[in-house]
Amino acid sequence: MRSATGLGCSTWRFCRPGRDDRPELRFLEAGCRVGGAEIPFVWREVHGIDLMRAAVDVQLGRTPALSAPASWNTGGWLLVRTPVPAPCRVVAAQPLDPRDDGPYAQVVPPRGTVVPEAGGYEHVGARFRFRGSGTAQVESSIAKAAARFRLECEAVA
């Protein structure tokens, strides 16, 4: 049986200081689809924009009904992998307290759950979504959650 902390399980910085301390953007991915992981949830819950509905409208030749929110918040997410390769069984996992600068939404598998070898973002150790007034606040919340979260799993033969 092995346990894992969230620290190091997800990267939340997509830009870093480059030359002259200006941000250096990193290209992540381009696809002709709505992004995976927690992207559709964060956009709908934080920004009020349903990317899945917009994608369907585009595919059906309709103009998506998109309106910018009155004010923009920042959203982010943390995916925590299992500490042993899947398939594995969750031995212990404790959801994070959202009152303690934690996530506004989380998916933490209960004890006894078997995480399948399916791969992808849905079948990971845990998933957390965050929102805040700015990048620094969301990054800080993610870092705190990554440091606090514990997950114990055992291999399934």
Q: What is the pLDDT of residues 80-116, one digit of tens each?
A: 999 999 999 999 998 998 887 889 999 999 999 999 9
pTM: 0.77
Q: What is the pLDDT of residues 114-138, one digit of tens each?
A: 999 987 888 899 999 999 999 999 9
Q: How much of the chain is helix, strand and coil, in % rounded to 5?
A: 20, 25, 50
User: How do strand 114-115 and strand 88-93 relate by DSSP bridges?
Assistant: antiparallel
8 A C-beta contact, residue 58 and residue 64: yes
8 A C-beta contact, residue 151 and residue 10: no
Domain ranges of the chain: 2-155
CATH number attached to the domain at 2-155: 3.30.470.20
8 A C-beta contact, residue 101 and residue 132: no
Could you tell me the pLDDT band of residue 16, with boundaries at 50, 70 and 90? Answer: low
pLDDT at 12 over 90: no
